Amino acid sequence: MADQPFSDMPPLPANPFSAPTAAPGGSTKTSRLAVASLVLGILACPFSILAGIPGLVCGIMGLNRISRSAQAAASPRLTGQGLAIAGTILSGLSMLILPVMIGLMLPAVQAAREAARRVGCSHNLRTMALGMLAHESAQQILPAAITDADGKPLLSWRVAILPYIEEKGLYEQFHLDEPWDSEHNRTLIAKMPAFYNCPSAQHDDGRTRYLLLDGTGACFEKPRQQTRGRISGVKFGDLRQAPDQTILIVEAPTDRAVEWTKPEDLTVSPDEAARLQDGERGGHSRGIRHAAYADGHVEMIHGF
């Protein structure tokens, strides 16, 4: 069989991704939309949606116009199909990558925020513990409440330590011989200092989650409390355990939050108090996260 001459062989199929060629004697012109799509597709890598959506739109419109130009007999014909396809692909990929990146970064951001809240909570508790110790140094008692002449609690220990944590001006506004919910003292609830507001669950109504432990076996067990002047509490020398093992203040569960001036704290069972004071620390449990100790340090605790 004789070799078939090249001139008689059928033509190769056209490459669908190649730019259309102009008819003999015709002229071509690169589609501006195709160029814009490629540029926006490249810009979509750092700017994602801002450039990705316009890049997709320009790419689709550019391909449509190039296709119509190839079918028309008019001149010049539009080229740049490859540019439009590349721009469309880049824009689409950049928009798909953004949700994936957000999904990967979100846990890290949440973890960083939680770490910041823990640091803030720890700072608040340390401030209160140092205020308690300063009060003990001046008044020879760790305060549990401000009382009336008969020993009935009127105001919280959180009011009693105000002069020792640079809030003497606020302290002097209280009527110390009236209960926390008297007509005058209620107006001061809204003036709660910022360090009584837990960063993990902030309250805008003057409530706080920072409470003493006053159950049986705890540091501020009520039968053990004494009164010195108008302050009820516990003397430092009467602590049952070493200061670095004695819990003064805890970050209590959200549902146990109280008005910061109210003389109410967290009552625990003897078993719970023993587990906490014996040093079961290091994690969360029953909503209690941090505790301030009688030597001024703060730790994460568990055992509930």
Amino acid letter at 246? Answer: T
Residue 106 makes CB contacts below 8 A (sequence gap 6+) with none
State the residue for tokens 């993990």. 200
pLDDT at 3 over 50: yes
| Mean pLDDT value across residues 265-291 | 61
Same domain? 153 vs 181: yes
- As a whole number, mean pLDDT of residues 144-154 equals 90
Tokens of residue 266, six digits: 């967290």
pTM given for the model: 0.62
Q: Say how many domains are in the chain.
A: 2
Residue 283 has pLDDT above 70, yes or no: no
Residues 209 and 77 occupy one common structural domain: no
For residue 165, the model assigns a pLDDT of: 92
| Same domain, yes or no: 198 and 275 | yes
Residue 126 lies in a domain: yes
- 285, HSE (Cβ side, Cα atoms, 13 Å): 12
Q: Could you tell me if residue 182 is inside a domain?
A: yes
For 7-53, the pLDDT digits (tens) are: 555 555 555 444 454 445 457 777 777 777 777 767 666 666 666 67
Per-residue pLDDT reduced to its tens digit, 46-55:
666 666 677 6
Q: 290 lies in a domain?
A: yes
Give the pLDDT band (50/70/90) at residue 279: very low
What is the C-alpha separation between 212 and 157, in angstroms, rounded?
A: 9
Confidence at residue 210, expressed as pLDDT on a 0 to 100 scale: 92
- Find the distance separating the first CA and the last CA of the chain, reported in whole Å: 96
Residues 91 and 142 in one domain: no
Residue 280: what pLDDT?
Answer: 46
Position 23 in a domain: no
Q: 287: domain range? A: 110-300
pLDDT tens for residues 193-223?
988 988 876 667 899 999 998 877 778 877 6
Condensed to tens digits (0 to 9), the pLDDT of residues 62-120 reads 777 777 777 776 567 777 778 777 777 777 777 777 677 677 777 766 666 766 777 88
Structure tokens at 152: 């009935």
Pairing of strands 28-30, 77-79: parallel
Q: Given pLDDT bands bounded at 50, 70 and 90, which one contains residue 284? A: very low
Angle at 281 between CA 277 and CA 282, to 5 degrees: 170
80 and 226 together in one domain: no
Q: Which residues 6+ apart lie within 8 Å of 188 measured at CB?
A: 170, 173, 174, 261
**Within this chain, do residues 35 and 53 fall inside the same structural domain, yes or no?**
yes
The strand ranges marked E within the chain are 28-30, 77-79, 142-147, 153-156, 207-208, 210-212, 226-228, 231-234, 247-251, 258-259, 290-293, 298-300
